[in-house]
Amino acid sequence: MASGTELTSNSYLQHHLQNLVFGKLPEGYERAGGHTLDHSSWTFAHSPQEALDMGFWSLNVDTMGWSIFLGIVFCFLFHRVAKKSQSGAPSGFTNLIEMIVEFVNKNVNDIMSVKNPLIGPLALTIFVWITLMNTMDIVPVDLLPLMAQFITGNEHLYFKVVPTTDPNITFGLSLGVFILIIYYSIKMKGVGGFVGELALQPFGKYMIPFNLILEGIGLLAKPVSLALRLFGNLYAGELIFLLIATLIGSALPFYMGTFFGGALQFVWAVFHILIVLLQAFVFMMLTIVYLSMAHEHH
């Protein structure tokens, strides 16, 4: 948002859906405020167009920062519980952590036909980390962005706090799973077995080109569907929170808008808890299923 621009519902939505992007702008680039760069420089984007012009090597600082922070929180909490675990009946937070571990372990054991010590920790990491990132969607939409603007002194600072509303994160997770699918497919079946599954089924050796098209699309659809399902659901949820804030705020007086807007936000937040957990569970389950298929011979 440029300085001096009147805040409208559209600009409010655009501002909250834009990441804090750090990247390189070329020499002679005319910035959003009318300033022209004397030389190429690494800087924060002042507009969505600047973020776009920074290209592939730009970094979404807010997404990266929150995802790393929540990953550290996950490691700290589980490490602390593991150090304090003892024999006997657990209690309090330790009981919750053990319930999560047992829940994930049961799903892995039920689905995996081959024992692999990596799958359990991987599934646990995916479930808890995605749950933590999704849970940031429950935080009031203006709270953390306003705090960031206050701390930096920049009232127009872009700041998104839900990492899974950024396709860079969801595709990063799904591509990591996809690499493991390829790795275990080749490890368990050999290069010939893996290529044979793609080329010879479902219609046999006389339809190899057609088989490759069908199986190739099915293989590539796995990471794409994983990433887009998670991104789409969380992005839509964040957008509804913002729409409730803008519609109620523009249609009603301040005190009524605050009351009714807060009530609707609370109702949607309670319902959204189901989405937060469900999307983490679906991502975890599909990861286990795909890796189980990679371990199996046709």
| Dihedral sign of CA atoms 208, 210, 215, 216 in order | positive
Checking if the pLDDT of 261 tops 90, the result is: no
Position 289 scores a pLDDT of 94
116 flagged as catalytic: no
Checking if the pLDDT of 285 tops 90, the result is: yes
DSSP string, 82-110: HHH--SS---HHHHHHHHHHHHHHHHHHH
Average pLDDT over residues 38-64: 90
Checking if the pLDDT of 54 tops 50, the result is: yes
- Least-confidence region, from 2-16, 37-51, 141-155, 276-290: 2-16
List alpha helices for 136-166, DSSP H. Answer: 143-152
Report d(CA 98, CA 100) in Å as an integer.
Answer: 5
Token pair listed for 262: 């807060």
Average pLDDT over residues 240-268: 66
Catalytic pick among 60, 211, 233, 292: 233
Report d(CA 290, CA 4) in Å as an integer.
Answer: 51
Position 3 scores a pLDDT of 42
Position 109 scores a pLDDT of 93
The answer to whether 195 and 53 have CB atoms below 8 angstroms apart is: no
Confidence of residue 180 (pLDDT cuts 50, 70, 90): very high
Percent of the chain's residues with pLDDT above 90: 42
Confidence of residue 174 (pLDDT cuts 50, 70, 90): very high
Checking if the pLDDT of 4 tops 70, the result is: no
Position 154 scores a pLDDT of 82
Task: Break the chain into its structural domains and give their ranges.
Answer: 130-295
Position 204 scores a pLDDT of 76
Q: List, for residues 92-142, the tens digit of each pLDDT value.
A: 788 889 899 999 999 999 999 888 999 999 999 999 999 999 999 888 777
105 flagged as catalytic: no
Catalytic pick among 41, 95, 225, 250: 225
Report d(CA 208, CA 21) in Å as an integer.
Answer: 45
Mean pLDDT of the chain: 85
Predicted TM-score (pTM) of the model is 0.87
Checking if the pLDDT of 164 tops 80, the result is: yes
Average pLDDT over residues 210-233: 92
Confidence of residue 240 (pLDDT cuts 50, 70, 90): confident
Position 202 scores a pLDDT of 77
Beta bridge partners of residue 59, listed in sequence order: 22
Query: Going by DSSP bridges, is the β-strand pair 59-60/41-44 parallel, antiparallel, or unpaired?
Result: unpaired
Q: What are phi and psi of 201, to 5 degrees?
A: -125, 150
Position 87 scores a pLDDT of 62
Q: List, for residues 70-93, the tens digit of each pLDDT value.
A: 999 999 999 988 887 766 666 678
Checking if the pLDDT of 269 tops 80, the result is: no
The answer to whether 127 and 139 have CB atoms below 8 angstroms apart is: no
Q: What are phi and psi of 291, to 5 degrees?
A: -70, -30
107 flagged as catalytic: no
Checking if the pLDDT of 145 tops 80, the result is: yes
Distances 1 to 45, 153, 154 between C-alpha atoms, Å: 11, 15, 11
Residue in this structure with the two tokens 């920049």, named with its chain if needed: 154
Confidence of residue 259 (pLDDT cuts 50, 70, 90): low
The C-alpha angle 30, 57, 50, rounded to 5 degrees, equals 25
